[in-house]
Amino acid sequence: MAFLKGPNGEDVLPIKINGKPEPLDMNRVFPVVSSAQDKIVHYAQSATPEQAIRASESSYEAFLKWRQTTHTYRRDFILRAADLIESRRDKFVEIQVLETSCPLTWAQFNVQLITGCFREIAANISQATTGELPPLESPGALALVYQEPIGPVLAISPWNASMVISGRALAAPIAAGCSVVFKASELAPRVHHYIVETLEDAGLPAGLVNILQAARDHSPAVTEAIIAHRAIRKIEFTGSAAVGRIIGQVASKYLKPVLMELGGKAPAVVLKDADPKHAASKIIEGALLHHGQICMSTDRIVVVQDVAEPLIAELQSYLTAHYPNGAGYAVTKAQATRAHNLLINAQKAGARFLIGDASLRGASLTPTIITDVNSTHAIFHEEIFAPAAILTIVKDENEAIKVANETQHGLNAAVHSRDVLAALRVAKQIEAGQVHIGSITEYDEANIPIGGTKDSGWGRNNGKYALREFLVEKTITIHDPVANGNSFGTGK
């Protein structure tokens, strides 16, 4: 791991531009804290706007060369990188747990899914970059429609799925022929640096990925400096809707397109003929996975009254049997406290705890299910992002659909029913990018599209869908000067 040493022996993650670490400025160094261990585990250098500009310039120079590579060359590179990531599984798992305090199983899953994402992207390069020969009306004319890389990309990745989201944010544009300025998460910079280091060991050219991170108070100026740079042609951002709005506003100021995957408030809809035991297992796993810190986490339970009582009993039973010691840790104490306050404030305003009491133990929130929540409560609108969910009892299928759609978010959802046709009917009416029947709300695979509707963003990730986001059509026409009818604009 490419740490630099501070004056007192501190391990500091640097800014890397054109493959080389920038000199340390100890006045712009910030700590990275493990919430599970409640201690500083290392430090990271916070970028300046000037460094952001140089990273963008370096990225453009690398792009001019990389865009000339063949699709097979890029495919082979992505496959080598996947193999190398897989071979370093244990180290990647260790670093994820260290920085984000995630469960061991979640860290292992991240390695597994990102290698799958890399390989699926590699498998689709030939198809995605294939152009067209559309027919023309003009005699003796030929049109060539190429698929070209859009150009240097700013990728801004979060900490909560620190390998999956950042890995595909790098693999798709690189496979398409683009370069990347990679803004690593300030909460998981070592994971992100190790991914880039692994890509370098797989043969990544210098400057093709320039990695920097910024402390929270430095981040707005650094981000705008990159977006404003003429070299940057697209932004990929995964994070909260609140920050997404800011990114979108800045990008529109400079007329830059954005691929956004934002927050969610995923409903798990339980229809009258559902199996309560099966539904409860998927709901609890969906709400508690990684301490509920996934944008696709089960945030709401919408249950038809016919099956409400047995479902609640099964939820309690599954939680007691499988999570006797809680659901792990939030990435920071502040994150756990925010969720705690949302729940307690709702309770004070009339909501009721069905399961759990929203109590805190350091950075760990007690798994909690709350009911009698209404639109005057902040928790009704805001993503909880913790091992907690809102349970709402409805009279029938139609009301379930209405309640499921009573949110500005539209990322993921789940439907539980023994009647597949009924489940499909409901799934088609839920306003979300992905709806999973009989599974957890977070379900994802490397070859299916993922993305949001409404306030959960736009564009799609994974496989061929991600590649398309970083390719643009370019049309070249050829005209025979002696062909009859070559008189565009004359009306003849």
Which has more confidence, 56 or 492?
56
Residue 478 has a pLDDT of 95
DSSP readout, 218-281?
Answer: THHHHHHHHHHSTT--EEEEES-HHHHHHHHHHHHHTT--EEEE----EEEEE-TTS-HHHHHH
Tens-digit pLDDT profile for residues 176-231: 999 999 999 999 999 999 999 999 999 999 999 999 999 999 999 999 999 999 99
Residue 5 has a pLDDT of 82
Going by DSSP bridges, is the β-strand pair 266-270/234-238 parallel, antiparallel, or unpaired?
unpaired
Q: Quick check: 1 pLDDT over 60?
A: no
182 with 47: CB under 8 angstroms? Answer: no
Q: Tell me which long-range contacts 394-398 makes (C-beta under 8 A, separation of at least 24).
A: 394/302, 394/303, 394/304, 394/305, 395/304, 395/305, 396/272, 396/304, 397/271, 397/272, 397/304, 397/422, 397/425, 397/426
In this structure, CATH architecture of domain 4-262+462-475? 3-Layer(aba) Sandwich (3.40)
Whole-number average pLDDT of the chain? 95
Indicate the pLDDT class of residue 8, thresholds 50, 70 and 90: confident
Tens-digit pLDDT profile for residues 303-335: 999 999 999 999 999 999 999 999 999 999 999
Q: Which of 120, 186, 236, 261 is catalytic?
A: 261
Locate the domains of the chain by residue range.
4-262+462-475, 266-437
Residue 254 has a pLDDT of 97
Residues contacting residue 488 through CB under 8 Å, at least 6 positions apart: 138
Burial environment of residue 363 by CB neighbours within 10 A (0 to 12, 13 to 18, 19 or more): buried
Indicate the pLDDT class of residue 489, thresholds 50, 70 and 90: low
Burial environment of residue 333 by CB neighbours within 10 A (0 to 12, 13 to 18, 19 or more): middle
Indicate the pLDDT class of residue 96, thresholds 50, 70 and 90: very high
pTM over 0.85: yes
Instruction: Report the CATH number of the 266-437 domain.
Output: 3.40.309.10
Residue 492 has a pLDDT of 62
Residue 16 has a pLDDT of 97
Q: Tell me whether residue 382 is one of the annotated catalytic residues.
A: no
pLDDT cut 90: percent of the chain above it: 95
Tens-digit pLDDT profile for residues 252-283: 999 999 999 999 999 999 999 999 999 999 99
